[in-house]
Amino acid sequence: MIPVSVHYVPVVLRSTKEICTTFGTSPERIRTWVKEGAPIAVETDKNGSAVRYRSELIRLYMWLETRNRQSPE
């Protein structure tokens, strides 16, 4: 038998625009998701203002699926 290995290569969404385009939503909705605990990393400037949002596609997708099963919008 030939050994087989499977490698997972994450798809990282590197901006608000990429997240919005991928999920068909708005920047306002992204900010709401962050407040609700979505797996979205928020980089801030020295004043604490958000400058960049990043997320791994599959983790955000799974978070949304779980959230929607618990309480559909």
For the chain, the structural domain boundaries read 12-70
What's the CATH class of domain 12-70? mainly alpha
pLDDT of residue 68: 84
Give the per-residue pLDDT at 27. Answer: 96
Whole-number pLDDT of residue 1: 84
- Quick one: which H or E segment has residue 59? helix 57-70
Position with higher pLDDT, 1 vs 62 = 62
> Residue with structure tokens 């779980």?
66
Residue 35 DSSP code = H
- 68 to each of 11, 13, 16, 34, 63, how far by Cα in Å? 22, 21, 21, 15, 9
- 65 DSSP 8-state letter: H
Model pLDDT for residues 6-64, shown as the tens digit of each residue: 888 899 999 999 999 999 999 999 999 999 999 999 999 999 998 899 999 999 999 99
The residue among 73 and 28 whose pLDDT is bigger is: 28
